[in-house]
């Protein structure tokens, strides 16, 4: 039988068929010629299909321009229009702190504070100071949100603390918010503990029935705080404070005369 190599080039196939025409009968020669032509067409079709799959389709740049061309094809040393637009938007969105301070009205600037709550505490109460010292220790780690004012200091000035007098601050715990609002009782403790990351301790007092009960318990403590801590009653403390400011208190080696 006649063997035809499928890998022959088109020129070799045509020569092979031409050389064999004289030795092969006419019908066989025709069939051989047709077979060679069919193989040539198949090979040509496979080659064309391979080129179509491997080669990416041609997309003229005129129909689909590169989106980055307008950004990066700007002249050297000059920003592109898109870059300038982005820069202007960022400049408008982010304003330096100094510019904000200059643009802030004088009354708003004076009203701004760097604390979230101002606590008025009795620096001569040992039980109170155990809690105050804990708050002072944690305060820097949470942004110094608490401002501490010792009402036991003879220089305490009610005018700087929303008009709260020494007697009022001694009867019940007081605190001041940045907007000038005065809060008392359990709400003070809840806000203080929230400011130092311990809000979960007093979180349950956000519910009104619980807060009401907690304020009743605190009221009992506030009423008997001075005798429990070994201090004179409030009237005596007020008189001692007045005499110290006037310089009329008389102190001996062991005791002071306040009446």
Q: How many residues does the chain have?
A: 259
More confident residue, 221 or 112: 221
Parallel, antiparallel or unpaired: strands 256-257 and 250-251? antiparallel
The alpha carbons of the chain give a radius of gyration, in whole angstroms, of 47
Distance, CA of 199 to CA of 205 (rounded, Å)? 10
The pLDDT tens digits for 176-204 are 999 999 999 999 999 999 999 999 999 99
The pLDDT tens digits for 16-52 are 444 444 555 666 667 777 777 777 777 777 766 665 5
Distance, CA of 253 to CA of 118 (rounded, Å)? 38
Mapped onto helix, strand or coil, the DSSP state of residue 56 is: coil
Distance, CA of 249 to CA of 256 (rounded, Å)? 7
Distance, CA of 123 to CA of 32 (rounded, Å)? 118
CB-based contacts of 62, cutoff 8 Å, min separation 6: none
User: Edge to edge, what strands does the sheet with 174-176 contain?
Assistant: 146-150, 117-121, 174-176, 182-184
């Amino acid at each position: 039988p006649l063997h035809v190599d499928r890998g022959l080039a088109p020129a070799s196939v045509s020569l092979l068929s031409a050389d064999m025409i004289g030795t092969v009968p006419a019908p066989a020669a025709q069939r051989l010629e047709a077979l060679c032509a069919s193989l040539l067409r198949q090979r040509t079709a496979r080659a064309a299909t391979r080129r179509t799959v491997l080669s990416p389709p041609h997309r003229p740049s005129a129909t689909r321009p590169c989106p980055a061309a307008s950004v990066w094809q700007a002249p050297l040393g000059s920003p592109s229009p898109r870059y300038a637009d982005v820069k202007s938007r960022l400049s408008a969105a982010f304003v330096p702190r100094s510019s904000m301070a200059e643009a802030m009205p004088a009354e708003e600037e004076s009203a701004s504070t760097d604390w979230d709550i101002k606590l008025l505490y009795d620096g001569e109460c040992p039980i109170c100071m155990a809690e105050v010292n804990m708050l002072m220790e944690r305060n820097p780690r949470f942004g110094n949100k608490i401002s501490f004012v010792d009402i036991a200091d003879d220089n305490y000035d009610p005018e700087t603390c929303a008009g709260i007098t020494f007697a009022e601050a001694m009867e019940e715990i007081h605190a001041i918010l940045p907007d000038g609002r005065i809060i008392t009782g359990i709400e003070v403790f809840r806000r203080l503990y929230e400011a130092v990351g311990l809000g979960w301790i007093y979180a349950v007092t956000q519910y009104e029935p619980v807060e009401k009960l907690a304020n009743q318990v605190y009221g009992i403590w506030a009423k008997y705080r001075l005798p429990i801590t070994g201090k004179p009653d409030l009237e005596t403390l007020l008189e001692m404070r007045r005499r110290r400011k006037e310089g009329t208190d008389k102190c001996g080696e062991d005791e002071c005369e306040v009446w």
